[in-house]
Structure 1
């Protein structure tokens, strides 16, 4: 028999705090998802999704080739500063309008009236593309890390084929799908638990390297650059910006879970900022450790496992033990899998929100929340299908991870640029902003403007190939894929989208 206290708790879990209900009412949205996340669980969710120190290791090959150890360190510092400003800007907007729609909702509310509908629609597609591709990127990382581990343990008997990697990605996607459907209500508990592994795993990897691995002299670490044939060291370092960017991007992840978060307008921005600080520090410490323990770069890249993921060979060389390297790599693979779980959750919620506003084909199907599930089941299924389909790129490309990652980064960066630009313009014009419980105050204009300029640089550089004059198999084809999706969205908008999509601002209650 339930007590009044149990009824109050159940109501709070379903509809959130008074502030949550007021935010949803102001934005004209109906609460359909269960608010079962608190600060710790959403902080864990964000920490695991960004997985900065793990992703920094997984994507290091691009930074090693373009910039070398010195370039990786200095570019990371600059990228961290840039994304700190971006995250602060996003956190303020999240406090003003905590909705699963995120960027496309903010653009709809904050952009000039005559551009609200079209800009919001395009940003919705960009955000959807970015997160769907981001989920594929995290699944691809976990799947191919398993391949590298097999190569390390069976260098002569295992003959690696591209389709092996694709198959592993699909298998991992199915596992992640189970967590996002049948075990969806356990996600807050899982995220809090995995957060502990995220921190413990960091020390489990770093301490053995500092104790056992031979050290590269500090002078060499901080002064060794590599231009990879570009003929300009600065350009080469900027091409390598993809490595720290993919490790630090994703500040809007928690935003897309905001309709499942208690007291979202207060908790969300603080969780975003805390994630930026803690993950940024862990990522930098692991980068320094990796650079000091890297050893002979050419030898690492020439090894079978190192050609896929240099950190796997660094673990083996540093510990002088295949078993030790296997355990350390297994920690990263486990965390990469949980990163994929959170990516799929975020991607499906963003897709659900955009479908709820009629932004995509078959909107009613993907905006549907089955009774008793409390999750956008069809949006989750579509995300799983999309991730599996993108994994097939690996069969025809030797740098599939780089292409998929570049596509996701460019799409998300585009959505960040437009949304932050809208707030910057409002500040420039002296127009009032919405009430918020997290404010940048007098520094808001400077932080917003710096964020936009930084994102513009990242956007341009992420379309560059990993080397000059690349053959087709090494070319970064993300520009083609990005353009194709944008072209499709424009065609759909012309024939149907503009007739059914009005933008979230139309549902906002102006008197609140």
Structure 2
């Protein structure tokens, strides 16, 4: 079946269709550089958002402490960094070829074998949309419960209530939508401020721990492995605990979904992805080793009434409620702005998929209101969805975590599928698109290694924390949620999607 594409036009005609006159300055921002204009023209897209942007482990370490101990956490972090770096490099190359907000579902549509382009792109689009959407509530939940843990530290008689945590999630989400609307044009300045805060906060946390904390023996920290989950095998326990560092690296495609708001995206985007991975990976490793050196008795730390081992480690090191509160407040601020970033990514992913008729109410969700230059409708819907999803926490935090567990498996699967498409093209000897960031002769080995690693992570993302005494609370429901999304999106595609969704590849210009 052949799909009808939009009427071919020249690059100049495409550019001339933009606003002119008194709106020239805004139009120039929206067009970006000459390479940006050429990329958007080739992909058959209109630049509707301004091209103005230049491009923790702490809340996730409990899983790794139980399965693997300090040694397991450190070595699986190193292995996870290597594996994810290969995946990031692979996606950076694809981003240089097709710098579009659609990200993975666009890449699958354009790079997959012709017979599978439409259905695979559609399924990956749904996984990416829902994977990023549930992340807003998940980060809000972590931020809220860390605040409650800090209150418990300072006021031991306080008993955290789910309704209080839900209100905190709402506060975080509301801050995120306000930031993504009223301060959208100031994102470059604010991102610079957050970068400074990130670096300053890094040392503000580390220095007190280095100076005041009681260090464990280095050999014990690096080579003590535990099987607290009861798997019966240290190696298997460490692989299950690998999910802790995975949570730190998940979402490297975030910048991709903002690519149409980046200047010179085909060059700056892949470089930003790679350097972000290197810098964050290095800083994260230093923080992780410091934490493990200060953790002391793991069983005692895991039983902390705050619910978060890192809060207890801060307090054990400083012996000060005030000092611990300040250090934890820094991490809360970083979580808060992490939600802001996730909010921006998830709303753009939804907008891009709606632009290609991938979701219900696509006309409404894909509209960019004149004068806003941001996908306001998708931003509002993203906020409403996250607010409603967080209501589940009122009835059961277990059920809430079941729903939000979708993100890991969904995003990992989207990476596997998209990189596999490039592997197929390389194995078949098919030419790749022109790109300004190239893996060269190492492309195929790096692609294959990344897919093998991501497949391992994908499998273990469905494992529970422990095989002993499994019940509704301890079972990892990720597999059920993931399977339900794939099945339901497939049904929706057959019922409606196949009639309107042709995939981004149908709009790609072949005449340049």
Give the shorter-chain TM-score range: over 0.9
Residue 189 of structure 1: aligned partner = 189
Residue 159 of structure 2: aligned partner = 159
Q: Secondary structure at the match of 1:29?
A: coil
Change (3 A) 1:375 1:386: same
Maintained 8 Å contact 1:396/1:473:
no
Residues 40-73 of structure 1 show CA distances to partners (whole Å, capped at 9, x for unaligned) of xx2xxxxxxxxxxxx1111111111111100000
Residue 380 of structure 2: aligned partner = 381
Residue 134 of structure 1: aligned partner = 135
Residues 138-174 of structure 1 show CA distances to partners (whole Å, capped at 9, x for unaligned) of 2222111111111111111x11122322221112111
Q: By how many angstroms is 1:461 displaced?
A: 0.4
Change (3 A) 1:388 1:184: same
Q: By how many angstroms is 1:384 displaced?
A: 1.4
Maintained 8 Å contact 1:397/1:473:
no
Separation in 1, partners of 2:299, 2:174: 37
Maintained 8 Å contact 2:209/2:314:
yes
Residue 360 of structure 2: aligned partner = 361
Residues 339-374 of structure 1 show CA distances to partners (whole Å, capped at 9, x for unaligned) of 000000000001000000000011111101111111
Residues 441-469 of structure 1 show CA distances to partners (whole Å, capped at 9, x for unaligned) of 00000000001111101111011111113
Maintained 8 Å contact 1:36/1:262:
yes
Separation in 1, partners of 2:439, 2:381: 37
Residue 17 of structure 2: aligned partner = none
Matched, 1:14 2:30: yes
Change (3 A) 1:220 1:301: same
Residues 256-312 of structure 1 show CA distances to partners (whole Å, capped at 9, x for unaligned) of 10100101001100011110100000000000000000112222222211xx11000
Residue 47 of structure 1: aligned partner = none
Residue 311 of structure 1: aligned partner = 310
Separation in 1, partners of 2:488, 2:215: 52
Maintained 8 Å contact 2:145/2:165:
yes
Residues 204-247 of structure 1 show CA distances to partners (whole Å, capped at 9, x for unaligned) of 10110010011111122112222121111111111111111110
Q: By how many angstroms is 1:10 displaced?
A: 4.3
Maintained 8 Å contact 2:136/2:173:
no
The count of residues paired between Structure 1 and Structure 2 equals: 490
Query: What does residue range 339-488 of structure 1 map to in structure 2 within 5 Å?
Result: 339-397=338-396, 403=402, 406-468=405-467, 469-488=469-488
Separation in 2, partners of 1:375, 1:511: 30
Q: Secondary structure at the match of 1:475?
A: coil
Moved more, 387-396 or 188-197: 387-396
Q: By how many angstroms is 1:399 displaced?
A: 5.4
Residue 333 of structure 2: aligned partner = 334
Separation in 1, partners of 2:394, 2:473: 10
Maintained 8 Å contact 2:26/2:50:
no
Q: By how many angstroms is 1:393 displaced?
A: 4.1
TM-score for the superposition, normalised by structure 2: 0.93
Residue 244 of structure 1: aligned partner = 245
TM-score for the superposition, normalised by structure 1: 0.93
Query: What does residue range 4-403 of structure 1 map to in structure 2 within 5 Å?
Result: 10-38=26-54, 42=55, 55-156=56-157, 158-227=158-227, 228-305=229-306, 308-397=307-396, 403=402
Q: By how many angstroms is 1:394 displaced?
A: 3.5
Maintained 8 Å contact 1:134/1:343:
yes
Maintained 8 Å contact 2:152/2:305:
yes
Please identify runs of 4+ aligned residues in structure 1 that moved more than 3 A. 6-11, 392-406
Maintained 8 Å contact 1:402/1:476:
no
Maintained 8 Å contact 1:133/1:405:
yes
Which consecutive residues of structure 2, in runs of 5 or more, have no partner in the other structure?
Answer: 1-19
Maintained 8 Å contact 2:74/2:288:
yes
Residue 51 of structure 1: aligned partner = none
Separation in 1, partners of 2:162, 2:463: 23
Moved more, 64-73 or 214-223: 214-223
Q: Secondary structure at the match of 1:193?
A: helix
Residues 370-420 of structure 1 show CA distances to partners (whole Å, capped at 9, x for unaligned) of 111111112111211222233334345555786456421110001000000
Q: Secondary structure at the match of 1:359?
A: coil
Q: By how many angstroms is 1:137 displaced?
A: 2.2
Change (3 A) 1:418 1:116: same
Change (3 A) 1:392 1:481: farther
Separation in 1, partners of 2:480, 2:315: 38
Q: By how many angstroms is 1:474 displaced?
A: 2.3
Residue 493 of structure 1: aligned partner = 493
Q: Secondary structure at the match of 1:181?
A: helix
Which consecutive residues of structure 1, in runs of 5 or more, have no partner in the other structure?
Answer: 43-54
Q: Secondary structure at the match of 1:82?
A: helix
Separation in 2, partners of 1:238, 1:351: 33
Maintained 8 Å contact 1:140/1:401:
no
Separation in 2, partners of 1:387, 1:403: 15
